[in-house]
Amino acid sequence: MTAPRGAASDTSSILIVDDMEENLVALEAVLGSLARVVRAHSGEEALKAMLRQDFAVALIDVLMPGMNGFETAANIKGLDQTKDIPIILLTGAAVDPNYAYRGYTVGAADFLIKPFDPWLLRTKVNVFLELHRKNRQLADQAEQLTRLLAVDVPAQPPEEQHRLADVERQLAQVKSMLRDGERTGTEPSGLADRIAALEQAIGRLVEGSGR
């Protein structure tokens, strides 16, 4: 079952985009054991898929008719709903040496030249999958804390309002760090510890209110 965009899911998905069916078959054969793989045959089809569901990473061929890989990546990064999805661009060996630079300028996290080592590709994709799963767990925790603040923490007396404001500010920072980490394929340092500390701080606010 496909998880709708924005919904929590224990299953991470990979989007592969190429106009050549044989390339999609080859990619799915390499990556299919890591996670659910969704195919798209064009940039337009890829954008529609991304608006329907969440993906841990997208692998996009550069040389496609119509909307090419660079344009597809730029469109993905230009939409609020999809801008945080990491992109790996793929292309053949006989390409312009500036392609890699161009790929990074449109927001790609990585750039691989065919034929690529299947083990290397699996390793790179698995990094994004693990990061996506971990970030989803942390994001769920952050959302639970946000709801806890809204429901269980009553209005604070003036002398305590700064503590509540500080917790809200730190929660906003945590959510921003999660988005940045997923987009760049990096794990924000100490994020789990910060969420645990916020949970304790909210607990003290609740206890201090006498609830």
Residues 158-201: tens digit of each pLDDT: 555 565 666 667 677 666 766 666 656 566 556 666 666 666 66
The region of weakest confidence among 65-69, 86-90, 153-157, 176-180 is 153-157
What are the backbone dihedrals phi and psi of residue 91, each rounded to the nearest 5 degrees, phi first? -155, 165
Beta strand residue intervals within the chain, DSSP E: 13-17, 36-40, 57-61, 87-91, 110-113
At the fourth CATH level, the homologous superfamily of domain 13-116 is: Response regulator (3.40.50.2300)
Task: Specify the 3-state DSSP secondary structure of 202.
Answer: helix
| CB neighbour list of residue 127: distance below 8 Å, 6 or more residues apart | 185
The domain limits of the chain are: 13-116, 133-208
Query: Range with the lowest mean pLDDT among 5-9, 34-38, 96-100, 176-180?
Result: 5-9
- What's 126's DSSP letter? H
User: Distance of CA 134 to CAs 95, 97, 120, 139, 202, Å?
Assistant: 36, 35, 21, 9, 22
Q: State the pairing for strand pair 87-91/110-113.
A: parallel
29, 60 in Cβ contact below 8 A? Answer: no
- Global pTM reads 0.69
pLDDT score at 15: 98
Q: Is the CB of residue 53 less than 8 Å from the CB of residue 3?
A: yes
Q: Are 43 and 17 a contacting pair, CB within 8 Å?
A: yes
